[in-house]
Chain A
Amino acid sequence: MSIPVNQEIILEVKNLQTIFKTDTGDVRAVDGVSFKLPKGKTIGIVGESGSGKSITSLSIMRLLASNGKITNGEVLYKGEDLLKLSESQMRKLRGNEISMIFQEPMTSLNPVYTVGQQISEALMLHQNMSKKDAFIRSVELLKLVGIPSPDKRVKNYPFELSGGMRQRVMIAMSLACDPEILIADEPTTALDVTIQAQILELIKELQDRLGMSVIFITHDLGVVAETCDYVAVMYAGQVVEYADIRTLFHEPKLPYTIGLLKSLPRHDIEQDKLQPINGNVPSPHEMPVSCRFSPRCPAATDLCRANMPQLETDENGNQVRCWIYTDEWTGEAEVDIYGEKRIAKSRGAKTILPD
């Protein structure tokens, strides 16, 4: 199911390109990323390490390291291009309307200030609260994210809290100003599994209660399945497949997505062995000019190895960047995808890779 026509889109990223200047030349970390975030929904951005998913989120926030630069594209928030805002206008949005939680709760809080001081900071900055009011609100926020005895914890320093607690503090901090959009950059990666589940549930629950839209960045498809409404799969700096959650898990189109799902352990079917995707993500310095997945793709043809496919949209609004789903892809090929014989037929956008 695609995004309904009447659904309000709160954030739209169009053809985003981000490069990093390095000693060995420019690296295109994000190369033409587009997706839409409907209001109140959750979009997952999935990909391997180095696929550009974190850089995409930092580009939206305009928090790139000093050698990073957004060279192209638009980030439309409520119709306004964030990339055209001045730095001070952007600062008014950060932590206020768009906020972010990071991967590493252990290092993402300032060690020399109490958690109360750190939560209060955003409140005093964006909501002009007095120190006292901000403190009271901080206690409420800590309570909201399920921290026991928040009136005591508010005076704690980060080192006095566990990893899960710190991530809750991060969440409290990011929710301080009732943001419209929450960007969660691998918020559970550094936590152990039981805490992961709690944090995911907390984000979901707060989203329902506060009506936020969430961008969920992760490499964990299990997390995506639990939390997201839509998914953008990224590979080597590009969005390669975009679909609603049902379609992505039940009718994945891209050989890469199929590969990702096959490498995921499942408890509902019997599996002998997990299927890895062979090879590695290409080095950013040696990016293929063709389909970037073609060196690893079991279904790649000469066409795939010579040309870059475009992100094509089907009649349901789902998108895929793959030659197999275009009219140019000819013939009926029997391809071996991860040990299974499949028939890919050249039926343009209707091509089906049977599961």
Chain B
Amino acid sequence: MPKYIIRRLIQTIPVLIGVTILVFSLMHLVPGDPAQIVAGEGASEQTVENIRERLGLNEAIPVQYGRFLGNAVQGDLGSSVRSGRPVMDEISSRFWVTVELAFYSTIVAVFLGLIAGIISAVRHYTIADTSIMIVALFGLSMPNFWFGLLLIQWFAIGNWMPESLEFLKMRPSGWGDSWRQIILPVLTLGTGGAAIIARMTRSSMLEVIGQDYIRTARAKGVSERIVTYRHALKNALIPVVTVVGLEFGGFLGGAVLTETIFAINGMGRLTIDAIRTRDFPVVQGTVLVISVIFVLVNLLVDISYRLLNKRIDLN
């Protein structure tokens, strides 16, 4: 196992190089002169030239890329052209906010998704199954920004909220330590993820429940509960774990809209702001960090396969 992990970590290097090349090229393919954008509309040619010089934009692109990579492996991602702060500092101040959001959202998604999916599979073709799948379809189809706004309408502004439920009312504000501030964004992200997990769990469980070894378990006289949770679920979890891993990675990198709506200063917003202002070093830095996390999450998912099913040989 340790050998496998080391090999996988080494394999991530080409992936990350690919990611940086891609981001680097994209930034240079974007229309407009970065130095001009940084300098602003009415800046003089001299100012623009100075900025270009300062950012090293005069050099050949491969040289720029090489320097970026060289610094990056030493933990230096450059400085933001906007704030002037080191990109690493910018990221580390936002990073845990996003991790916290992603973590709780994943817990909500897994908890709701698994329960709904199992009920749906066990009560196949009943009203419970149909209702869960309809709700899941809504959850899947509803864009996060829309659902987030609805939640704000209901719980924060208090529209359509009966008086008896007023105590639930909460106020979205800056990021804080109160659960009241985290719950709405977590619900926004988590329910969307739950829908996907529920559908995956259902189809995976249905497939497993039809297997011969489930009949064997029943023939042994074990209760339906044990058949479902001990014999079926563990087998059904493998595709679900894959989805959970992707979801978590997605929450980390793609919580942009949710972070914007709830005014959360996370990685998503940092990235979006940086893209809008052509803050190249920050964009490169955030994309790199998100990619590293994504790759690591995938590695964790692969390792968990082995824990679930010993037949899967990681080597």
- Residues of A near any B CB (own CB < 8 A): 61, 63, 66, 88, 91-96, 99-100, 102, 104, 107-112, 121-122, 125-126, 157, 159, 170, 173-174
Q: A110-B216, A111-B235, A112-B310 are in contact. Are A93 and B211 (CB under 8 A)?
A: no
B217: which of A61, A104, A110 is its contact (CB, 8 Å)?
A: A110
The answer to whether B220 touches A104 (Cβ under 8 A) is no
- Label chain B's interface by main secondary structure: helix
Q: Assess A110 versus B213: contact at CB under 8 Å? Given A94-B218, A159-B311.
A: yes
Q: Which chain A residues border B124 with CB–CB below 8 Å?
A: 66
Per a CB cutoff under 8 Å, which of A95, A108, A111, A170 touches B221? A95
Nearest CB on B from A90, distance (A): 8
A109: B residues at CB distance < 8 A? 213, 216
The closest CB in chain A to the CB of B235 belongs to A112
Note all chain A residues with C-beta closer than 8 A to B311. Answer: 111, 157, 159
Instruction: For the complex, give the distance between the alpha carbons of A56 and B309 in Å.
Output: 34
Tally of A-B Cβ pairs under 8 angstroms: 68
Give Cα distance in the complex from A323 to B231, angstroms: 49
28 A-B residue pairings within 8 Å (CB atoms)? A63-B215, A63-B219, A66-B124, A91-B223, A92-B221, A93-B221, A95-B220, A95-B222, A99-B220, A102-B212, A102-B215, A102-B219, A107-B211, A107-B213, A108-B216, A109-B213, A110-B213, A110-B216, A111-B311, A112-B235, A112-B308, A121-B217, A122-B220, A125-B222, A157-B311, A159-B310, A159-B311, A174-B219
Query: In the bound complex, what is the Cα–Cα distance between A52 and B216 (angstroms)?
Result: 19
Closest approach, in angstroms, between the C-beta of B174 and any C-beta of chain A?
46
Does B67 sit within 8 A of A, measured CB to CB?
A: no
A157 touches B221 (CB 8 A): no
B residues near A94, Cβ cutoff 8 Å: 218-221
> Shortest beta-carbon distance, B308 to chain A, in Å?
7
For the complex, is B82 an interface residue (Cβ under 8 Å from A)? Answer: no
Identify which of A96, A112, A173 gathers the most chain B CB atoms within 10 Å of its CB.
A112
- Whether the pair B235, A108 counts as a contact (CB closer than 8 A) is no
Contact (A126, B221) CB under 8 Å given A112-B235, A112-B309 = yes
Q: Which of A108, A157, A174 has the most CB of B within 10 A?
A: A108
Instruction: Give the nearest-CB partner of B217 in chain A.
Output: A110
List residues of B (175-232) whose CB comes within 8 Å of A's CBs. 211-213, 215-223, 231
Bound complex: CA A111 to CA B217 (Å): 12
Known A-B contacts A91-B223, A102-B212, A104-B212; the reply to A111 vs B218 at CB < 8 A is no
5 additional A-B pairs beyond A93-B221, A112-B308, beta carbons within 8 Å, are A63-B215, A66-B124, A121-B222, A125-B222, A126-B221
Most chain A CB within a 10 A radius of its CB, from B218, B220, B222: B220
Q: With the chains together, A247 CA to B24 CA distance in Å?
A: 86
Cβ 8 A contact of A125, one of B211, B220, B234? B220
Quote the shortest CB–CB distance from B315 to chain A (angstroms): 15
Complex Cα distance, B222 from A173, in Å, reads 13
Which positions in B face A, CB cutoff 8 Å? 124, 211-213, 215-223, 231, 234-235, 308-311
With A157-B310, A157-B311, A159-B311 as given contacts, are A108 and B222 in contact (CB-CB < 8 Å)?
Answer: no
Q: Is the CB of B223 within 8 A of A102?
A: no
What is the chain B residue whose CB lies nearest that of A159? B311
**Distance, CA A240 to CA B112, complexed state (A):** 54
Complex interface: chain B residues within 8 A of A99 (CB): 219-220
Q: Which residues of B contact A104 (CB under 8 A)?
A: 212
Most buried by B among A61, A100, A110, A122: A110
Give every chain B residue within 8 A of A111 (Cβ-Cβ).
213, 235, 309, 311
Which partner residue on chain A sits nearest B209 by CB separation? A66
Q: Which residue of B lies closest to A91 (CB)?
A: B221
Closest to B125 in A: A66
Complex Cα–Cα for A94 and B235 (A): 23
Contact of B213 (CB < 8 Å), options: A93, A96, A108? A108
Task: Find chain A residues with CB under 8 A from B309 CB.
Answer: 111-112
A residues in contact with B308, CB < 8 Å:
112
Contact A173 B212, beta carbon cutoff 8 Å: no
Find out whether the CB atom of B219 lies under 8 angstroms from the CB atom of A100.
yes
Within the assembled complex, what's the spacing in Å between the Cα atoms of A350 and B217?
Answer: 48
Measured between beta carbons, the chain A residues less than 8 angstroms from B213 are: 107-111
Question: Once the chains bind, are B222 and A91 in contact (CB under 8 Å)?
Answer: yes
Chain B residues with CB under 8 Å of A122's CB are: 220-221
Bound CA–CA A122/B310 (angstroms): 22
Whole-angstrom distance from the CB of B123 to the nearest CB of chain A?
Answer: 11
- Residues of chain B within 8 A (CB-CB) of A93 are 221
A66: chain B residues at CB < 8 Å are 124
A121 touches B212 (CB 8 A): no
A173 and B235 contact, CB distance less than 8 A: no
Nearest residue (CB) in B for A126 is B221
In angstroms, Cα B220 to Cα A96, docked, is: 7
Question: Within 8 Å CB of A96, what residues of B?
Answer: 221
Pairs A-B, 8 closest by C-beta atoms: A94-B221, A95-B220, A95-B221, A107-B212, A110-B213, A108-B212, A100-B219, A159-B311
A93 to B222, CA, bound (A): 10
A102 touching B220, Cβ below 8 Å = no
